[in-house]
Amino acid sequence: MSLHINGSTVSLPLDTRVSLLDFVRDHLQLYGTKKGCNQGACGACTVLVDGERILSCLALAVQYEGRSITTIEGLANGSAPHPLQQAFIDHDGFQCGYCTPGQICSAIGMATEAKRGVPSYVSDDLAADVILTRDELRERMSGNLCRCGAHNGIIDAIREIMAAETLE
Ligand code: FES
Ligand code: FES
């Protein structure tokens, strides 16, 4: 049993109780994905599965056999950061940085949801095209908490990159 992570194929753990978060961090030594609450409340552990954002602390690794996982380590292009990583730097979208990998993975997954027309809690018209206003972005990113209060910079960074349509 195996899955793909950041372009590499890895064997899944024999212990079926291992969460995807613990598998990524403790078995693969990919420490970019962070453990905050470990109970689905903070978003620090967000990764992408076939392009969709999930909370890896609430997932068992074995559930993802054959799937493609992307962590923050898989986003950069060699030594060049992903455009959204650069935007977080440019807009002071972090202080301690603990939430940042989850924020960036979540924003990329969120952009895909918006392109598919998935409405949010604050969308007035469920059938209308999604317009990512600041309020929409705040709501769509509300599952990712920042204890340092860098939310304004985070939203600024996402807005800049979404305007340039380079999130993928
Ligand atoms: S560590 Fe997964 S949501 Fe907080
Ligand atoms: S930058 Fe410190 S928790 Fe977000």
Q: Rounded to the nearest 5°, which phi and psi values hold at 41?
A: -105, -15
pLDDT at residue 48, rounded to an integer: 98
pLDDT at residue 78, rounded to an integer: 86
Beta carbon of 59 within 6 Å of any ligand 1 atom: no
pLDDT tens digits for 107-146? 999 999 999 999 999 988 888 888 888 999 999 999 999 9
As a CATH number, domain 83-162 is 1.10.150.120
Q: Rounded to the nearest 5°, which phi and psi values hold at 20?
A: -65, -35
Ligand 2 centroid – CA 166 distance (Å): 24
pLDDT tens digits for 27-73? 999 999 999 999 999 999 999 999 999 999 999 999 999 999 999 99
- Provide the greatest CA pair distance for the chain: 47
Dump strand ranges (E) for the chain.
2-5, 8-11, 46-49, 52-55, 68-70
Strand partners, 119: none
Query: Which residue among 99, 144, 151, 158 is best mutated to probe the pocket of ligand 2, counting the most ligand atoms within 8 A of its Cβ?
Result: 99
Question: 165 pLDDT exceeds 80?
Answer: no
pLDDT at residue 164, rounded to an integer: 66
Query: Which residue among 34, 45, 88, 98 is best mutated to probe the pocket of ligand 2, counting the most ligand atoms within 8 A of its Cβ?
Result: 98
Sorted by where each begins, the domain ranges of the chain are 2-74, 83-162
Q: Measured from the CA of 56, which atom of ligand 1 is nearest? A: 2
- 3-state SS, residue 50: coil
167 confidence band (pLDDT: 50, 70, 90)? low
Tell me the two tokens of residue 136. 């929409």
Do 2-74 and 83-162 show the same overall fold? no
pLDDT at residue 86, rounded to an integer: 96
Q: Which residues contact 152 (CB under 8 A, 6 or more apart)?
A: none
Dihedral of CA atoms 52, 85, 44, 119 in degrees, nearest 10, equals -40
Beta carbon of 140 within 6 Å of any ligand 1 atom: no
Q: Does domain 2-74 have CATH number 3.10.20.30?
A: yes
Q: Measured from the CA of 42, which atom of ligand 1 is nearest? A: 4
pLDDT at residue 13, rounded to an integer: 87
